[in-house]
Amino acid sequence: MEEVYIQVVDKVPLRDPILVEGLPGVGNVGKLAADYLKEKIGAKPLATFYAKCFPPQVYVSEEGLIRLVSNDLSYVRSPASGGRDLLILGGDYQGMSPEGQYELTERELDFCHKLGTREVYTLAGFAQGHVVEKPRVLGAATSMKLVEAMKRYGVVFSRNDPGGGLIGASGLFLGLGRLFGMEGVCLMGETSGYFVDPRSAEAILKVLTQVLGLSVDFADLEAKAKEIDRIAQRVHDAVESKPSEGPAPAAPREDLGYIG
């Protein structure tokens, strides 16, 4: 078996497509944003990526149907004549080993490159370690031209964040993308790092949709954010109401991790 097995679902010619990547990671921000975008603009399946660097796992639906874990590429044709089409890459996992990350990302970029992709936007969360009321969108890019362009959309290029660089798919898609001649931007929504964070996902999607000239309704994402708020508040209240200073409730992160 090859390291990565690509199942092509549809074959369509695409016009200068822009790739948007959002996989699981900090606060699940990138995946939440990519999945939401995919749903709202009605993206259609193009290809599925199975890989040896994923866990040997199938998901089982409520009906009892299995599905092998994967990454998935979807597309949307631009409604405007002459407009650029869109590719969205999401999925269940990033590669579980460094070697797997490189291999998988390279194969996915190669596939998109052959579809004509020259520009990439990667979506991620940036863990601040404390609650973030109004998440800023931090950026990193492959060229000063893109840095300047993103600043006009309110993206913050901070001298110190991210200090040690970016680890994982969102950075690697840009780093390896350059070897394919692609330019790109990583949009990072600030988040605590403790919860799944739809509000942070909304922040980066608001920038991205402006950049791409898309119109998306954020009501469902906001509803999800409020649901997380309520749960977080209940956890907070439970802690506060305790008479003695006991330990914090066990693993709120995990409890909430399954919501959203």
Q: Return the number of the residue (50 or 153) whose C-beta is nearest its own copies.
A: 50
Indicate which single residue of 44, 157, 237, 255 sits in contact with its own copies (rule: CB under 8 A): 157
Stretch that binds its own copies, among 10-18, 74-82, 175-183, 216-224 (CB under 8 A): 175-183
Integer Cα distance of 203 and 212 in angstroms: 15
- 7: enclosing H helix or E strand: strand 4-8
Indicate which single residue of 80, 129, 134, 144 sits in contact with its own copies (rule: CB under 8 A): 144
Q: Is 52 one of the binding residues for its own copies (CB under 8 A)?
A: yes
Instruction: Give Cα 24 to chain centroid, integer Å.
Output: 6
**How would DSSP label each residue in 16-41?**
SPEEEE--S-GGGHHHHHHHHHHHHT
- Interface mask toward its own copies for 5-34; x: CB under 8 A: x-x---------------------------
Phi-psi region of 181 (alpha: psi -120 to 50; beta: other; left: phi over 0): left
8-state DSSP, 14:
-
Q: Is 1 one of the binding residues for its own copies (CB under 8 A)?
A: yes
* Torsions phi, psi for 188 (to 5 deg): -115, 120
Indicate which single residue of 13, 64, 82, 129 sits in contact with its own copies (rule: CB under 8 A): 64
Q: Return the number of the residue (60 or 250) whose C-beta is nearest its own copies.
A: 60
Question: 169 with 96: CB under 8 angstroms?
Answer: no
| Residue whose pair of structure tokens reads 């008479």 in the numeric block | 243
Q: Return the number of the residue (168 or 252) whose C-beta is nearest its own copies.
A: 168
Indicate which single residue of 88, 186, 205, 225 sits in contact with its own copies (rule: CB under 8 A): 186
Integer Cα distance of 216 and 127 in angstroms: 26
* Residues within window 75-134 making contact with its own copies, judged by CB under 8 A: 95-103, 105-107
Q: Which residues bind its own copies (CB under 8 A)?
A: 1, 5, 7, 50, 52-60, 62-69, 95-103, 105-107, 139-144, 147, 157, 159, 162, 164-169, 171-172, 174-176, 178-179, 186
